[in-house]
Chain A
Amino acid sequence: MSTQVHANLTDEQVRQISGNLDEPEWLLETRLEALEALSELDMPDVIRTPGRDWTNLHELDFESLVDPLNAAENKDQVGPDEVDVLPWSEAVQEHEELLREHFGSVVDPQENYLTALSTALFSTGTVVYVPEGVEAEDVTIRTEQNSRSLFNYTLVVTEESSSVTILERQSTGSAEPRSANGRAAESGDAERADEQYYSGIVEVVAGENSNVQYGSLQNLSEEAYNFSLKRGSAGTYATIDWIEVNLGTQLTKSGVSTTLEGDSSETQIVGAFYGHEDQHFDLDAKVWHRAEHTTADLVTRGVTDDVARSVYEGVQDVGRDAWDTSSYQRENTLMLSDESEADASPKLIINNHDTEASHSATVGQIDREDLLYMTSRGISPRAARNMLVEGFFVPVLEEIAVDELREDLESLVATRLRQRA
């Protein structure tokens, strides 16, 4: 690593963050261990082919981006009464045992450099706890980032035969992001002044026969850098469905994954992205089949325009004991500009022969015949193109069961298309 952020970080800062949240000693220890581990840990894996790195994480300039003691945000955390939707500081008081059991159980805090950094420094978060048998919809977590860096943590635990739908959004506040010590201003680095770093870790623990639907709409400022890791562990007969939408940031490294731990568990990962200008999205969707009769369905569609670049990695990993597995993956990228780039690597790792697995990936442009057909019916080329792009997202939209998220995605895509010449 060219930039060693931990040179600027101290135990004292971590103690202060933990102390402000009134955390128990074990949590502070976990954070300090993560801080300590930074010097040993590598950046998250990126795909490399001869002569090329698909994503260069070294562009993340932590020196100027990470400002541990200044975390400002607007947050809404709302949900129905029968579900606990708690800010981190309250959850620490009310659900310490739950946290002790599940915090770091799905995503290892020391999985890589960025997860450890997030664990050491997160100052905001949400815990969603759904008791046995409760069926809840409309849990909303809205995060508006108003500081140079923000580290966010989310834990979802569903008890037996419960269900919940969670909608999470990240955006950037309109106020000028400020650095606590004014470092950016002092250094005169005007170009970097608007840049921000958002880091989010989400852990989902789905109990027996429960059902979690987790939608995420990332629409941060296009100056922002984003690292996000969402991972679920599905128990027997449990279902975890992810919807992952990426529209904002200049560089996103995002991972969404499910471990199918329980027999007959299922997961679906639906992804949508639209990159334009110089945006770079590195997105992965992964599933680990670790029990019998499990099913996975991975569907991602995205658009690249201008000089944007998308990197997609999809992994279907079937373990030795995962008898009777069904696993499917589709990825499609539409290129609107000659200067954009779309990279894809869908992978199958199959260790049990009692498996039906397939994947497919395509990259292409708007079909000329479709365009010709529409323009010959009197539709302007621009309107025709926009309709075809909107149509391209339909197979993904159809998979999004959360109405609000689907409508938002539709309108954001439409807005981005209208901005285009």
Chain B
Amino acid sequence: MSSEQDHLKETDTEARFEFKKEQNAAVKSEKGLTEEVIRMISDDKDEPDWMLERRLRALKQFQNMPMPTDWPGQPDLSELDIEEIVPYIRPDVDKREGVDDWTELPDEIKDTFDKLGIPEAEKNALSGVGAQYESEIVYQNMQEQWEEKGVVFMNMDQAVKEHPEIVKEHFMTTCVPPSDNKFAALHGAVWSGGSFVYVPEDVTVEMPVQAYFRMNSEGMGQFEHTLIVAEPGSEVHYIEGCSAPKYGTHNLHSGGVEVFVKEDAHVQYSTVQNWSKNTFNLNTKRAIVEENATMEWVSGSMGSKATMLYPCSILKGRGATDTHITIAFAGEGQDIDTGAKVYHNAPNTKSTIESKSISKDGGRTNYRGLVHIADGAENSSTAVECDALMFDNESTSDTMPYMEIEESKVDVAHEATVGKIGDEDIFYLQSRGLDDDDAKKMIVAGFIEPITEELPIEYAVELNRLIELEMEGSLG
């Protein structure tokens, strides 16, 4: 254990996540949200009129919707002043659609991603990589073998121009319309960057594709949009990583993710989120899952000041399956309110939700989940399991599931437990020669193992490392 600890320390992980760069922007919008700002963003992107119209319509919806304040026990959003957020920053890169060679990036951006270990990961474990810096994708590359099979992995802005038919049909229409919630409407108005993934029929993309989102400027908002269309019988694993340095003023991340999982397709969407502890992370992620298709959500939420994230699967086709695996880790000053939503809208659909949360040093975690089984969705089943671990008496751990069951031929089960880290377990490990810190780290690593098992090894290591970082300081 100790040698591994030393090794981890050598990688200088603190610095990897905490550094911040001087920002050097080509275009930066005004603060706040006006029609002019929206037109400026759209104009800077040289977008077709239909997209500008969708943005303006979303802006109107945003302005007409109240802030969500009436959810029981919801995170405090009062410090979030949307009028103070800079919604759009285009970094100064030569090529608008991003480059496909790391060496072509400006040094400051390249350094950033080098420190985050992205190029290294690309070499070893990924089919493709995208990297977003502020509002724009600056790097995007996919291995040739997938391109030849017709797999598309590109910057969302570029997809608006190159695949207008697919985007027009799927972009914030049936899956996440701007009317869904206030932050979805905001996202629809100011979205920028993100990934477009298209997997043709019966193609299996064997290694994951990844996008990394980085906010570097103070007081900015990042609003990337990810659209994944998996044609029948196809398979893909998409990973997103997120980070930002900490500044005095608040940042806002309000991403939108839409996933279309066609018949017999299989999509896994994994997120390891390590936003700085002044970021409001308010996302809408949703998948529409067709007949016999499978959607898997894997989420690790470590960062942010407040997170409200409830990835949703709409099981629309007979025999569709959903899996949710969620880890939340809340330290000092953090409120991680996350969970899952599943709508069983067809017979023989199945969902499994597994949530693990850890709260310490006054942090709060909440599992908030909704399972809806519609009348007629017979022979459907859902199993929800939430486990929470608390480190101390300043912290809070809440569990708020909602079950709406309109069909009788179903199997619905929900279970939750909350407890403290076991003194006996720590004592046992100490008696085997571990110190208190290492014992606690090991217990936490065991606690989250069901989640790390689901991730490629590089990410599992990353997640463990982030959690160890979170635990240092308070335990040291």
Contacts and interface: CB of A to CB of B under 8 A. Distances in A.
A340 B408 contact: yes
B444 to A, nearest CB: 14
Interface string B391-427: 1110111111111111111111111111111000000
Contacts of A320: 393
Given A357-B418, A364-B410, A345 B405 contact: no
B73 interface: yes
A216 to B, nearest CB: 26
Given A348-B418, A359-B415, A362-B414, A335 B408 contact: yes
A342 B405 contact: yes
Contact of A350 (B375, B398, B408, B410): B398
Given A339-B375, A348-B418, A358-B418, A49 B370 contact: yes
A43 interface: no
B390 interface: yes
A361 B408 contact: no
B421 to A, nearest CB: 8
Contact of B375 (A52, A338, A361): A338
Nearest to A327: B418
Nearest to B389: A353
A108 to B, nearest CB: 19
Contact of B409 (A54, A356, A359, A365): A365
A381 to B, nearest CB: 16
A341 interface: yes
A49 B404 contact: yes
B415 A358 contact: yes
Contacts of B417: 357-358
Nearest to A354: B420
Contacts of B411: 364
Contacts of B398: 347-350
Interface of A is mostly: strand
A353 B392 contact: yes
A289 to B, nearest CB: 12
A294 to B, nearest CB: 15
A419 to B, nearest CB: 19
Q: Considering residues A342, A348, A365, which has the most beta carbons from chain B within 10 angstroms of its beta carbon?
A: A348
A363 B410 contact: yes
A345 B370 CA distance: 9
B388 interface: yes
Contacts of A355: 390, 418-420
B403 A341 contact: no
B405 A363 contact: yes
Interface residues of A, number: 40
B403 A335 contact: no
A363 B402 CA distance: 12
Interface string A321-346: 00100000000010111111111111
A69 interface: no
A385 to B, nearest CB: 13
Contact of B400 (A48, A54, A345, A363): A345
Given A335-B408, A360-B416, A345 B402 contact: yes
Interface in A219-242: none
Contacts of A54: 404
A339 B402 CA distance: 20
A339 B415 CA distance: 26
Nearest to B73: A349
A327 to B, nearest CB: 9
Contacts of B421: 353
Contacts of A357: 417-419
Contacts of A48: 70
Interface in B101-124: none
Interface in A245-268: none
A353 B395 contact: yes
Contacts of B378: 338
Nearest to A323: B393
Interface of B: 70, 73, 370, 372, 375, 378, 388, 390-393, 395-421
Closest 8 CB pairs of A and B: A353-B390, A335-B408, A363-B412, A348-B399, A353-B420, A358-B417, A363-B405, A357-B418
12 contacts: A50-B370, A337-B408, A341-B375, A345-B401, A346-B416, A347-B401, A348-B418, A349-B73, A350-B390, A353-B397, A359-B414, A362-B413
Given A346-B414, A347-B398, 14 more contacts: A320-B393, A341-B406, A345-B402, A350-B396, A350-B398, A357-B417, A358-B417, A359-B415, A360-B414, A362-B412, A363-B405, A363-B412, A364-B411, A365-B409
